[in-house]
């Protein structure tokens, strides 16, 4: 396939590009380095230094013999987006190109406005580029389980059948996002659903839980191909952050009571899910939604697992509850359905002690790069 990856410099975007290229697809990545600029501005840079996209593509080509084409530009600019689509003529469009941090989106007016404008403009431009230039292309959009919130009923895969006064219909599952970032993802879903209904686009929306991991088959070819492994409070997902805290000797920071439950998955499984969605595309006029997770944990359970993995390696790991900077339920029901991707062929990698130990070893090798001032929460929802 001709594959266009929007946001190809990201934690997920770059490993996805390598994965598709290694499978023999014709891959182009586009990015404007927004996440890099935000990380630098907020002192939230990744643990491992990342070469530029162009340099990454050159390193990957030397290591694998596979090419990845790179385009640097602002995807919120429709002219750049439309020219990119005309040049690449994609059959599959993978859309990661959004400001991905909930804390950053809640930092203040400027950050909220930047998140809102970037995320919605890029999605809108992508939709119109597909509609007008490559109407048969398949859009794979990265959504988030955070769109749903924490309802007191089971979370279905995107849709809910409702019976009301003796009549039935099916609607998008109700959304109740907990941050401005997650709210932009809700709006993405609504935009996609409108254009699917109106113009017959084919779209797969992947409602992904928090991702952990630093290793993929392609990233392991050369340490410079490593994904952007963040451990800070702005971009670091909780498992990655806890592991760095364990190595740095900083007590694992459980927000509030620690009963917050979410669905998690290994970075390798993100790649599996996206490939499965691309290989078995949605039909014209279909908005197909999958809940992309493999396991659910409370924050307390994650902290316990990291503590145990650290102890197996001779690391004394403490756990400490701190005031919750977020506005969220700390004890709640959480039961998301996530069978769709398994039915397509997903073979999960679970959060084992071996997986955690491998990540700890990689972090220990780079412990001299850890800045503990980036760990504690610097953004409050209230």
Which CATH number goes with the domain that contains 330?
3.40.50.720
Structure-block tokens of residue 237: 């997902």
Separation of alpha carbons 98 and 82, rounded Å: 17
User: How does DSSP classify residue 250?
Assistant: P
Per the residue annotation, which of 11, 148, 181, 264 is the catalytic one? 181
Residue 11 lies in a domain: yes
185 is an active site residue? yes
Establish if 382 belongs to a structural domain: no
Return the sign of the alpha-carbon dihedral for residues 76, 77, 81, 84.
negative
Q: Report how many domains make up the chain.
A: 1
| Cα gap 80→298, rounded to integer Å | 42
Is 144 a residue of the active site?
A: yes
Mean pLDDT by 10 residues, the chain (382 residues): 98 98 98 97 95 98 98 98 98 98 98 98 98 98 98 98 98 98 98 98 98 97 96 96 98 98 98 98 98 98 98 97 97 98 97 96 97 96 92
Residue 300's pLDDT is 98
How confident is the model at residue 120, as a pLDDT? 98
- Residue 161 in any domain: the answer is yes
Whether residue 42 is contained in a domain is answered as yes
Contact 287, 255 (CB under 8 A): no
> 207 lies in a domain?
yes
**Counts of helices then strands in the chain (DSSP H, E):** 12, 14
- Is 380 contained in some domain? no
Tell me the DSSP string of 319-362.
EEEE---S---SS----B---HHHHHT-------HHHHHHHHHH
Q: Under a CB-based contact definition with an 8 Å cutoff, are residues 92 and 29 in contact?
A: no
Establish if 33 belongs to a structural domain. Answer: yes
User: Which of the following is catalytic: 115, 144, 216, 237?
Assistant: 144
- Distance between CA atoms of residues 103 and 111, nearest Å: 10
Whether residue 379 lies inside any domain: the answer is: no
Q: For residue 382, what pLDDT is reported?
A: 87
DSSP 3-state of 27:
strand
pTM given for the model: 0.97
- pLDDT at position 7 is 98
Question: What is the residue range of 131's domain?
Answer: 2-374
The rounded distance, in Å, linking the Cα atoms of 154 and 144 is 16
Marked catalytic residue, from 141, 185, 264, 334: 185
């Amino acid at each position: 396939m001709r594959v266009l990856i929007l946001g190809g410099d990201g934690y997920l975007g770059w490993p996805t590009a390598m994965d598709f290229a290694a499978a023999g697809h014709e891959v182009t990545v586009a990015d404007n380095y927004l996440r890099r600029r935000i990380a630098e501005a907020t002192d939230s840079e990744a643990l491992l230094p990342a070469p530029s996209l162009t340099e990454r593509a050159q390193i990957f080509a030397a290591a694998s013999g596979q090419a990845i084409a790179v385009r640097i530009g602002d995807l919120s600019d429709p002219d750049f987006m439309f020219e990119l689509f005309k040049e690449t003529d994609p059959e599959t469009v993978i859309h990661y190109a959004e400001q991905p941090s909930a804390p950053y989106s809640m930092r203040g007016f400027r950050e909220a406005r930047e998140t809102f404008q970037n995320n919605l403009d890029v999605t809108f431009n992508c939709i119109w580029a597909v509609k007008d230039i490559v109407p048969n292309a398949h859009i794979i959009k990265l959504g988030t389980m955070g769109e749903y919130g924490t309802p007191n009923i089971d979370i279905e895969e995107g849709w809910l059948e409702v019976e009301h006064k003796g009549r039935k219909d099916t609607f998008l599952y109700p959304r109740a996002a907990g941050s401005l970032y997650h709210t932009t993802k809700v709006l993405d879903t609504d935009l996609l659903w409108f254009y699917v209904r109106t113009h017959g686009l084919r779209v797969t929306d992947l409602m992904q839980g928090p991702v952990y991991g630093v290793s993929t088959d392609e990233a392991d070819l050369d340490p410079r191909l490593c994904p952007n492994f963040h451990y800070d409070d702005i971009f670091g997902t909780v498992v990655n952050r806890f592991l760095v805290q364990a190595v740095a000797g900083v007590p694992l920071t459980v927000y509030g009571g620690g009963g917050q439950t979410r669905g998690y998955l290994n970075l390798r499984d993100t790649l599996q899910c996206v490939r499965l969605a691309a290989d078995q595309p949605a039909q014209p006029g279909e908005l197909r939604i999958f809940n992309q997770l493999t396991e659910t944990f409370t924050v307390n359970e994650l902290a316990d697992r990291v503590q145990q993995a650290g102890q197996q390696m001779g690391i004394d790991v403490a756990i400490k509850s701190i005031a919750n900077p977020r506005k969220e339920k700390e004890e709640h029901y959480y039961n998301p359905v996530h069978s769709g991707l398994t039915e397509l062929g997903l073979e999960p990698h679970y959060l084992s002690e071996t997986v955690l130990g491998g990540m700890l070893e990689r972090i220990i090798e780079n412990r001299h790069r850890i800045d503990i001032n980036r760990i504690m929460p610097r953004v409050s929802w209230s």
